[in-house]
Structures are given as C-alpha cells and as structure tokens.
Structure 1
Amino acid sequence: MALPPRLCLLFILLLASVGLAAPAPAPPGKPLTVHFFDVGQGDAALVISPTGKTVLIDGGPPEAGPRLVERLRQLVHAPLDLVILTHPHLDHLGSMRDAIQAVGARRFMDPAFDHPSAAYRDLLEFVGQEVGQVMTASPNPKAPSTFLTIGLGEGVQLTLYWPRHPLEPFLKDTRSDANSNSIVARLSYGKTSFLFTGDAEPDTEQALLQRSLPLASTVLKVAHHGGRHSSTAPFLAAVKPQAAVISCGANNEYGHPNPEALERLAGVGARIFRTDLQGDIQATSDGTTVTFQTGRPAPPAKPAPPPERPAATAAPEAPRYISLKGSQVFHREDCATLKRAKTKERKIYTRRADALRERRAAEDCHP
C-alpha cells in the first residue's frame, strides 16, 4: 500500500516558521486554551489559540470515539488546522479517524516511524484520502540546527523537538522504539508554556537533555500516562513544571499512574491533575499565568491512618528477693551469687520492706 506523501512545511494559515524565535508578548484578554480530554486509557488534547487556530494532539483509544467526537463538535466549528499523532499506538490513534470525520482536518503530522500496526496503516490510508497535507516534525534540511516551529497567531508557537528524522536517526533498541520516537512539542504563549511528550521514554528524555533545549514549562503533559519509566528525575529538574497533567483510565490494568512517578512529580513541586480522577481538564493561559478547570473535583485526600498504638504489654512482675538458709543478707532474684549457691533452701520475699525487717541487702547485687 502506498503511503501518502509527507511535506515538511506549513503554509501561511498556520504562520509556519523555522527556528526558535522568541514568542511575542501575549495580548490581554485573548486566552490560549488546552483541553485534556478524558478518553480513558489514552491521550487526546485540543489546543485552541487566541486567534482560533486548533491543534488536536492524539486521538485516544477506539472506545473513546463517541466522547471525543462530542467534545470536538462542542469546541471546534471549522476543520482542525492540524492533527498530530505523537506515535503509532492504538491508545493514541484509536479514535483519530472519528475525530477527523466529525470536524475535518487541514493537516496531519506524525513521526513517520514505521510500525506494523494495521490500525496505524489504515489511519494513514484514510488521512491520505481525507486530509490535504501530511507532514513530519523534521525541520528544514537547509537549517538542520533549527526546529520546526509553527505559529498559531498572537505570539503562540508550537516547536517540535523530537523526532528529527531523517536529519537525525530514530532512537533504536530502546524499551519501546515507538514510544521513544514520540513527537515531543513545546507550546509557548508569553511567559507560559506547555510540554507535550506523548509516551516518551527515558531514552527520549536523555536525548532532549543532551541538546540543552529550553525545556522549562509551566505545564507538563506527563509521558506514558504516568508510567514509572518516564518522567525521570533529571528530566523533571529541567522542565520544572508547575502543573502536571496525567491522562489515564480509571482503575486501568497497567497501574497508571505509578506511585514512583507521582513521587517524582511531587518532588519538583508540580500540582498534579488526572483525567481518571477529575475528568476533562481545561488549562487556560493569558500569557502570564495558567488556570485550570476540571470536569469534576479531585477526590479528597485519604486521611492519614491513625498512629499505631503500641502493643499492650503485660505489667512486669514485681521483683522478688531471696535469702539463702543461714545467710544474714538477701539478694535480687537474678543475682549471680544465688546461681552459684549450692544450697537449695532459700526464703522468698515479695516485698523489699519485708526482707529488710529480717535481713540486710547484699552488697554484690544491691537489691
């Protein structure tokens, strides 16, 4: 099956540019909105720029189709300006066809990482027939040190950090090569920014760190649904997210998000939002700050368990005092002298006062 042609530049509708140009100051009263949809165990996010440009990043699993279509029809009133598939896994592409059929799309981007998935091949065939332009995240080959940057109007820019194929080879022999070559993109508006990571692996994070990129971001879309392998400590130290959004399904079989990943996110001071607990998450930037709205409030934190009471212990037995037959002194019951004594006849006192009335305290054990 022939794959659709892939182009590397966007036209004027998206104000495409190449490079890392500094974003213009955000004008007041024109928000940038990012909707992180609750699609179960998968990812789907919609960017709406201040000028109304729309970018759908991933399409969730197949079962999310009706929900995703409903939300897109509520929010999008013209064909999507760009659809990005971060990588060819079903939990990110499963409902993308439904989304495009529902509202349309002008352009489609994916990593062009070869994958044997039939669902992925079917999606590419559909996109080739229904979407006018198909492209990759690769920068202009005439400026290989730059990154493809897409302008969305009013100073909003979407910069594609990874992958950079064919200028740079795909990551190979990783824990998951498809995940490791996820599209990683940073959306900036004024002083605020969002970092989208797909299902990036530690290898991806290391590759980004080696390039000394401007990774610091106000909001991090957490990689791989909060799995334990991603969101490494060095990567989070570079991103410094104030908020972290985890897209995952309630009670999913993978145990996402992983407690270790949550601990690392909390360790950098990120406020954590989760679609499995809070439903749809809407982040709105005015260019200076980002505010959040959720589909439902976060469940109250579980109260800390009461401190354990020390196990009840039996009251210690009252000490006993022993005097050997014919002796004028008494000893503690555990005195070594008693253990060495040959005579077995002894008198036992349960109270020291009683022993003192008849004997004196031995000097070896000071009872």
Structure 2
Amino acid sequence: MSIRNETVWNKIMERPLLPVAGLMLTGVVITYFTGSAVPFALVIAVLLILTIVFTKSGREYILFVLASLILVMIPSIHMALSLEASEDTGRISTRGTVVSVRRKLNGGAEDIVRISSGALVLLRCDEEAELVPGSTLVIAGTLSLPDKAGNPGEFDYREYLRKKGISCVLRADSVEITHNPSVCGHLNSLVFDVRKNISGLISENMDSDTSSLITALCLGDHSLLSDDIKYRFSITNCSHLIAVSGTHFAGFASLFACIDPGDRRRKIYRIMMITVYMAAGLLTGMSESVTRAMVMSIGALLSRDKLSGMCMASVFLVMADPWSGLSSGYGMSVSSCLGIILFGPVIRQWLLKHCRNAALSDIFSAAAGAHIGLMPFFGTAATRLSVTNLLCQLAGGFTVSIICMIFIPVVLLSLAGFPVVMTTLELLGKLLLFMVGTASETGYMSFNCGRYGKYVFTGIYILLIVLIIPKGRLRRILFLPGIAACALSLGIIAGTILFRPDVTVVFLDVGQGDSCLVMAGKRSILIDGGTEDNGKVISDVMDWYGIDKIDIAFVSHWDSDHYGGVMALNDMGRIRMIEAPAECIFQTGETHDTDNVMVTGAGDRYTITECVKAEILSPNEAILGDNDESLVMTLECDDLTILFTGDISTEKENDLISSGILVDCDILKVAHHGSKYSTSAGFLEQVEPETAIISCGRYNSYGHPHRETLERLYSENITVRRTDREGAIIFEINHKD
C-alpha cells in the first residue's frame, strides 16, 4: 500500500462509519426520488471500480470497501421493494400485520399496517380495537390516497406519509383480530396506563394549557395541545421544543450525567445510562422522534466522539427503517448534532474567556450550537426572522431541559404525598408559554420572509459556518463553496423578489366553500374565506406569501362556507377591515369580533393599488344576507377583469342582466360552486368569460359542480378550472408598460 493510500486508509479507519452513513443516506434519497434501487446500484458499482483501478490498495482495504458498499445497498433495496408494493385504491378485503401502534392520550390512535400486498397503510377505524405490534388482522374497507396540499404553504399530508413509506389510508368497516401477541399487548397497555395516570396527575394540579404543554414535553403526546399553542410555537421557530429530541433526553439524564464513574466503573455507568434512556423512551411513547432521540443519545454515549456516535446512530436507524432517513425530524437531529460539533467548541472557547465557568460554558455552547445547526430547517416551519424568536429559542431550550430534568423527581414526590412540588413544574411551563406567546406577538426587529424563509436561514447558516470555523485546513476547504452557496441563496431570494408578478390572484382550495386571495404590491384583499376550519389554511397561505394582515376582506354573504374563514382570521387579528352586504348574521352559538365589520353595497369602489380596483355591482341593500343578496363585484387589474358572484341564483342573474350593470369579464368565479340553479346560458352570453373558476369540495354531497352547469360552460367554449381537481388556482399578472 502506498504512503498516500495508507494515509487515506488511516483517516477512514478513524471513523469507519462516516462514509457508510453518508452513502447510506445518499442511497435512500436517490431510491426515493427515482423509485428504484438501480441508479444507486450503478453509483456503487462505479465507486467500487474506481477504488480497484485507481488506488494501489491492499486486500483488507478492498474487502472493507466491498463490505461497506454491500451494507449501504440494503436500505435502498428494502425501500425499492416497499415502493413497488403499491395497492390500487377502492374497496378491499385483505389480511394485514400491525407494524406500529401509537395510542394518544386524547383517545385517538395511529396504527400502521402492512397488508398482504406488502404495502404499508395507515389504518382508520371507528371500532376501538386493542391492536399491538405483531397483531394479525382481517380487514374490510376502502383504500384511498391521503390528502395532498391544495394551497401554497399548506402541509402536504400525502408527501409526509409517503416519506414514511405509507402509500394509502385504509378506512376500515370491519377489523377482525386473528392473533394478538399477549406479551406485547400487556406491556403496551401497562406503559400506556402509566403515561395516562401521570398525565392525569399533571392535569389535576395545573390549568389545561400548562398541563397539555408539560404532557407534550415530558410524555411525548401532542394530542392535548390546543391549535393556538401549536401555532405560536410554529411561528416562533420553536416547534422542535415540543417534539421529544436529544434536548429532552439530555434533560431526563442530566441528574445521572453529573456522576463521574471513573475508568473502572465506566461500563456500569454506560449500562445505567442506557437503562435511563430506554425508560425515558417508554415514558415518552416510543414515537419516531422519541426512538430517534434515544438511539442518538445511546450512540453518543457508546462512541469515542460525537461525530462517530452520530454516524453509528444514523446507520442503525436507516438499517432498521430506511424511511427514517427521509423525515425532517431525522434531518433536524443530524443538523443539530453537526451544529454542536462545528460551533460548540468555538462558542465554548468564547464563553470561557468571559464567564470562566466550565460547566455553564459546556451547557450553553452545546445548546447554542444545536440551535444554530437547526437554522436550515427554521424556514420550513416558520416564515418570520426576528431577534425575539432567536432569544425565545435559546431560553426555551434551557427551560425545556430543566423541565425534563426535574419531571421524574417531581412526579415521584407528588405520588409520595407532596403535590406542592408540582408548582415548580407549573411555573416553568407557564414561563415557556409566556416566552413563546410574547415572541409570537412582539416580533422585535422582525422580518417576515414568507416562502423565502428556507433560503434566508440556509444562507445565514452557511455564512456562520464559514465565519466561525477556526483558521485551518477545514476552513480553507469550506470557504469558497460556502461563500458560493451563500451567494446562491441570496441570489434566489433577490431574483424571486425582483421578478415577482405585480398582481397575484389565488383561488384557494377551501373544500366546499369559496375563497380568493389577491395580492398587489404591499396590499392584499380576501374575498370570502370558506368555513371556519379554513382560517388556519388561509393563515398558512398568508405566511407563505409574507402577509401579516389582510387590508380588506369581503364577505359575499352570511353563509358559513363563505364567512367562517374570514371571521376566524379576524379573531386571530389578521384582518384590518371587513366589508359585507349586511350586518353580521352568524349561526346559532357563534361569537366573533365584529368591531371592524362594515356594510357595503352597489356603487362602492375600492382602490387597492393604482392599477388594481374593485367595484360592488350588487346588491343595493341587503337585509337577510342570503344567497341572492351575495356581493356581485368586479376586480380590475389593468385590462383583466374578474367577476365574483357569490351564491346568486339564475333569478338574480336575470335581474342583473335586466339592470344592464354587468360587464364583460375575462375570469368568472362561477356562482354557488357550480350549482345547476346558477350560471345560466343568458348570463354567460352577457358576461362572456374566457375562464371559469369553480370552487367546490372533493366528493361533496351536493354533486357540485352539476353536469348541466358544466355543459353550459363548455358549450360557450369557456375554459373550466376546478379547485377540487387542481387545488389552488393561481394567476400571476404583470402591468402593461
């Protein structure tokens, strides 16, 4: 073996799992996107040939490379076989084996089953079946594809499940258990009962918000958290704090980690710590994130350095479940570990110069390094960059560590008859809620980066890597690629901002309802908002486009599938002014903030920007706010005219034709979701649209859009576009010179 090859060999042998882990993850990604293991197999073959031909290597080196390449192929082959085991949607009767079960404290459950074809499916059933991993079933039901994201910035549930290897959702009509492993069943029930009793103990001594937060942090169950708390953690980039991770495990184990076992008792110490980690894993529900955190923590404990521990854990996780390498949680875990490795020593050295306390410097440097490592993922979870968010993340991380550190002692003391100790846990929970709530509302020095967030945070992260790494070989290697990558991120942001359209019109996918978002310069308007549940959907779209508040929201009429989302956004404080054809008429039992609701009518005009104007054509005066009193309005963007018609009927259309107030339009928002009692032939001849937009829900019970309506549209050679088939429909308009 030559001296050069010997040097390479020695470097590899220092951390033999580093190239294995890197290649294994590369193979999983290539297989996922190509749907086959063949492309990665070709890459492996090329690497093997290059190793043999271009290096004068010894036999042991060749054998090591060969064994490593065979090892990294195993997850890719496993994933390829799973991708091929697809199943047609529709009615099905099949046998299956339960792969994993996750019971939730709110009574729900998430069961993943491998059916007879080999495909993984998510089981949904109304019956409460006591399933455990290994249970064999006979299932009859309907197999369907998961919902996909219908709007910009919306969570894509279908892609989320696909990255876990789950191809379909099986809604079961009947489930027959043919075999239930008794040991697994008893252990599963015992662990869940313990977790449920601890959750009950927490809720007895705290208010609902604080107890649900402590339950999420220390028991790994988010099902009791309110949507408002989840939203606040999301917009402050703190979602990772309520997902059990290495931070939580470090907190659980910190009481034992302070023990110095010495060299003689190090094995006993490691066995004790592994036991603690496994107990913490059982306590927090053994979910995907919990398992990953447990394996990462054990890997760090057993390895000689942090990088080797991370590689060991990565190889174990991907070998056990190839799909785990695709999850964002896995990426965040690896990225935070790299942040500790890259930035931790530099931050620690700086802290030692100023505070001269080694213990505090170790804690702060590890936490700060982990948070810097998470930066590339912040833009995918939130859209706001601010100083308060950064401070909240750092302070929140330490608070979570303290909560986890004292959790088990507090629970034990409470069970022993000292419930007063729960006050400490409650105060820390309230402190964390206060910090997140304050950061979500203040946003000091805040920049709403919208859909560019991932580029902003990635650029900052790369720049920090280049600047903070000490001078040396590593910095010389990374300097030019780092600067180039940072420049590319900034270039993408600048390009998208400079060349963005003057006006963007988004007909949102809100199911069986109506909603249209219009953005022009720094101004925005919303026309209807679907049902109340769609308030969160529209809020996510606003965040995606970097909109803090809607300037004007128009409610066409007081049907819940039109006003619900608008009022939900208004209750969030995200709308400045609401215009409607009549005073508020809510459904029984509903209460909303109405201080900014104004009544509008025919003849009212609104200037959004110099080239974008809206005008109300009808009604002159509305009393009941019903379908035929819907706002009929035009939106003019230079020479392009869009006509909105609410839920008006053919009778109202005839009145509008007779009044002579209708204008030709380019785009027609079809009335009443495509009902056959609207959009008459005479109305279409009068307004002469080129494109018709139908907003309706998939498989809705009303049969919208009706066949008669579609035939009338097609007979006029009008292009028909539907949100139930396309999702959000987007028009980008540029002003004429």
Give the TM-score of the pair, scaled to structure 1.
0.60
Determine the structure 2 residue equivalent to 1:241.
Answer: 689
Aligned to 2:534: 64
User: 2:600 aligns to what?
Assistant: 137
Q: Which residue of 2 aligns with 1:158?
A: 614
Q: Using the alignment, how far apart are the partners of 1:95 and 1:149 within structure 2? A: 24
2:662 paired with 1:189: no
Letter in 2 for 1:95: G
Measure the CA separation in 2 of the matches of 1:77 and 1:245. 24
Q: Does 1:117 align with 2:581?
A: no
Q: Show the 5 A alignment for 1:21-170.
A: 31-49=502-520, 51-102=521-572, 104-112=574-582, 115=585, 117-118=587-588, 122-123=591-592, 126-128=593-595, 131=596, 134-138=597-601, 147-165=603-621
Determine the structure 2 residue equivalent to 1:336. none
C-alpha displacement at 1:74, in angstroms? Answer: 1.4
Residue identity matched to 1:138: G
Worse overlay, 255-264 or 194-203: 194-203
- SS of alignment partner, residue 550 of structure 2: coil
Query: Once the 2 structures are TM-superposed, how far is the Cα of residue 102 of structure 1 from its aligned partner?
Result: 4.3
Indicate the percent of aligned positions where both proteins have the same amino acid: 31
Structure 1 SS opposite 2:533: helix
Pairing of 1:177-256 with structure 2 (within 5 A):
178-256=626-704
**Structure 1 residue 100: deviation in Å?**
2.5
1:272 aligns with 2:728: no
CA distance in 1, matches of 2:717, 2:670: 14
- Between the aligned partners of 1:78 and 1:138, the Cα distance in structure 2 is 27
- 1:273 CA drift (Å): 0.7
Kindly state the Cα deviation for residue 105 of structure 1 after the two structures are TM-superposed: 1.5
Say which SS state the counterpart of residue 118 (structure 1) adopts.
coil
Note the 1:331-346 alignment, pairs <5 A: none
Cα displacement (A) at 1:201? 1.3
Amino acid of the residue matched to residue 43 of structure 1?
Answer: D
1-side partners of 2:555 and 2:542: how far apart? 16
* 1:67 to partner: Cα distance: 2.0
Please say if residues 583 and 599 of structure 2, whose CA atoms lie closer than 8 Å, have aligned partners that are also in contact.
no
Q: What is the one-letter code of the residue matched to 2:669? A: K
Change (3 A) 1:219 1:56: same
| Cα separation, partners in 2 of 1:257 and 1:148, compared to 1, 3 Å | same
CA–CA distance in structure 1, aligned partners of residues 618 and 534 of structure 2:
27
Task: Show the counterpart of 1:328.
Answer: none
3-state SS, counterpart of residue 62 of structure 1: coil
> Structure 1 or 2: larger helix share?
2
* Aligned amino acid, residue 193 of structure 1: T
Matching residue's letter, 1:38: D
Partner amino acid for 1:161?
L
Partner of 1:14: none
Quick check: 1:158–1:186 contact (8 Å CA) kept in 2? yes
Matched residue type, 1:162:
S
For residues 735 and 700 of structure 2, the distance between their equivalents in structure 1, rounded to whole angstroms, comes to: 35
User: In the alignment, is the contact (CA less than 8 A) between 2:549 and 2:574 conserved in 1?
Assistant: yes
Equivalent residue, structure 1, for 2:364: none
Question: How much does 1:114 deviate?
Answer: 6.9
Q: Which whole-Å CA distance do the structure 2 matches of 1:279 and 1:29 have between them?
A: 21
Aligned amino acid, residue 574 of structure 2: G
- Contact 1:160–1:184 (CA under 8 A) maintained in structure 2: yes
1:308 is matched with none
Once residues 275 and 266 of structure 1 are traced to their aligned partners in structure 2, the CA distance between those partners, rounded to angstroms, is: 17
Q: Is the 8 A contact 1:69 1:102 kept in 2?
A: no
Higher Rg of the two aligned structures: 1
Check the 8 A contact 1:196/1:220 in 2, yes or no: yes
| Secondary structure of the structure 1 residue equivalent to 2:522 | coil
Q: 1:216 to 1:210 in 2, by over 3 A?
A: same
What is the CA deviation profile of residues 273-312 of structure 1, one whole-angstrom value per residue up to 9, with x for unaligned ones? 1010000111122357xxxxxxxxxxxxxxxxxxxxxxxx
Give the match's secondary structure for 1:87: coil
Residues 1:112 and 1:29: Cα distance change in structure 2 (over 3 Å): same
Q: Once the two structures are superposed, what CA deviation does each residue of 1:93-112 show, in whole Å capped at 9, x if it has no partner?
A: 22223323446222111111
Shift in alpha-carbon separation, 1:29–1:104, aligned structure 2, 3 A: closer
Residues 47/116 of structure 1: CA separation in 2 closer, same or farther (3 Å cut): closer
- Indicate if the aligned counterparts of 2:679 and 2:709 stay in contact, CA closer than 8 A: yes
> 3-state DSSP class of the match of 2:553?
strand
The Cα shift of 1:55 comes to 0.8
What is the distance in 1 between the residues matched to 2:696 and 2:681? 21
Q: Which deviations, in whole Å up to 9, do the C-alpha atoms of 1:230-252 show, x marking residues without a partner? A: 00111111111111111100000
SS at match of 1:71: helix
Task: Tell me how far apart the structure 2 counterparts of residues 87 and 239 of structure 1 sit (CA, whole Å).
Answer: 22
SS at match of 1:58: strand
Q: Is the Cα contact below 8 Å between 2:501 and 2:732 reproduced in 1?
A: no
User: Which amino acid letter does the alignment assign opposite residue 136 of structure 1?
Assistant: V
State whether residues 76 and 103 of structure 1, in contact with CA within 8 Å, keep that contact through their aligned partners in structure 2.
no
Deviations 1:193-215 (A, max 9, x none): 10011111122212211221242
- In structure 2, the partner of 1:295 is none
CA distance in 1: counterparts of 2:594 and 2:574, whole angstroms: 10
Is the 2:510–2:697 Cα contact (8 Å) retained in structure 1?
Answer: yes
After superposition, the Cα gap between the structure-2 partners of 1:66 and 1:115, relative to the gap in structure 1 and judged at 3 Å, is closer
Paired residue type of 1:127: T
Task: Write the letter of the residue equivalent to 1:163.
Answer: P
Partner of 1:363: none
Aligned-CA RMSD value: 2.3
- Cα pair 2:656 2:662 within 8 Å, conserved: no
* Distance in 2 of aligned mates of 1:192 and 1:270: 16
